[in-house]
Amino acid sequence: LAQLTIPSRFYTDEKHFEFDKKQIFYKSWQFVGHISQVANAGDYFTTKVADENILIAKGEDGEIRAFFNVCQHRAHAVATGAGNRKLFVCHYHAWSYRLNGQLLRAPQAENVEGFCKGDIKLREIKLETMLGLIFVNLDDNAVSLKDTYPGLEAGVLSTRAGIEKMKVAFERDIEHNCNWKVSVENLNECYHCDSVHATSITQLYETDSYSCDIYGNFLRHFIARKHDRELHGDLHSWFIWPNNVVEVFPIHGAVSLRRVVPLGPNRSKYYYSWWVPESLSGEALQEVVALGTDYCNTVCQEDTVVVGCVQRGLESIGFDRGPLIVSTQAGAQSENAIAHFQSLYANALEAAGVDI
């Protein structure tokens, strides 16, 4: 019997969305940025993990730290946007925090008996870096990044040495009118490429060359580019559970980084970006920017339309589960990676005692 997809209620209900947020996004390693965004002491940026506001900052000691972006006085945010600061000063009552999260000053606190500044810190979050990417995990007891994805770092480095030293060339946030799992599943199969991307992707790749290697919490898609294989090499797309992609692209050392951010049961944000080696400039850089822009306006646009339509179908009483095309013979047209993603999702459900 063919493997069936996860029942549609897991893609549509508020209850299951809460499950995904708390049991998956608050407990998994989330790619939130690149080390180039915090190159110097005092550099910071704000971001989100699901609905949690997060602050990433580089301290005077050179360490990159992550905090909940919540003042420990009465819960206002302590930072917005990105930039460089010596201190984070909360806009509400002007409490100030050092770059390491320690409270430095709270107006009038000296007049409060027993007020101990030294006890107050921004709540810190686990942060680790790999391949120049910054990952955070809201679970204090999480297994380390390296142990969660053993072999990932070496695998990516074998396809692109020196990947840590990059700068952003192109980035865009794309709204998807669907559950985050629909977005993730869509980017994990090329079964739809012939029909959805007939004039884009299928023109560029040798679909016969496709393979997919599964390694527990991550997997790799491989495909060869047509025509310019010798010049530019192949494409290796690494999917990192639950929602991140590092795509080593065969042009001018470019890498495409993506992540799917859950916004609601039927809404997600697809962060789509292209990165290049720090030293890339001039025409080569322009070529990558043009390619990223072109992909965004064609492939991403085509995907945005289908994922929205799938979500409406999942919300229909006319659908619950369907069979996946899981076959080693199917090549680029297989849904093996989706089957794997869904088995990881089923494991998360099982660990939390939820029945499918």
| Site residues for Fe ion per CB under 5 A | 303
The Cα-based distances of 172 to 138, 270, 274, 299 in angstroms read 25, 8, 9, 13
Would you list the DSSP string of 84-99?
E-SSEE-TTT--EE-T
CA–CA–CA angle 5, 6, 10 (5° rounding): 145
Q: Is 347 left (phi over 0), alpha (psi -120 to 50) or beta?
A: alpha
Comparing CB distances to ligand FES, the nearer of 103 and 235 is 103
Of 90 and 349, nearer to ligand FES (C-beta) is 90
Residues facing residue 220 across a β-bridge: 213, 238
Question: In the window 185-204, what residues touch ligand FES (CB under 6 A)?
Answer: none
The stretch among 18-26, 89-97, 127-135, 166-174 that binds ligand FES (CB under 6 A) is 89-97
Q: Which two tokens stand for residue 144?
A: 């380390």
**Minimum distance between the CB of residue 295 and Fe ion, rounded to whole angstroms?**
10
**CA angle (168, 174, 177) in 5-degree steps:** 160
Q: Which does 74 bind (CB under 5 to 8 A by kind): ligand FES, Fe ion, none?
A: ligand FES
CA distance 151 to 245: 15
Work out whether 95 is an interface residue with ligand FES (CB under 6 A): yes
Q: Is 22 in the site for ligand FES (CB under 6 A)?
A: no
The reply on whether position 97 binds ligand FES by CB under 6 A is no
Q: Confirm or reject binding of residue 93 to ligand FES (CB under 6 A).
A: yes
For Fe ion, the closer of residues 49 and 310 by Cβ is 310
Partner whose binding site includes residue 92, from Fe ion, ligand FES, none (CB under 5 to 8 Å by kind): ligand FES
Between 76 and 146, CB nearer to ligand FES = 76
Please choose, out of 85-93, 156-164, 228-236, 269-277, the segment that lies near ligand FES by the rule CB under 6 A: 85-93
- What's the min distance (Å) between Cβ of 174 and Fe ion? 12
> Rounded to 5 degrees, what angle do the CA atoms 199, 205, 208 make?
120
d(CA 335, CA 332): 8
Instruction: Give the residues lining the site for ligand FES (CB under 6 A).
Output: 71, 73-76, 90, 92-93, 95
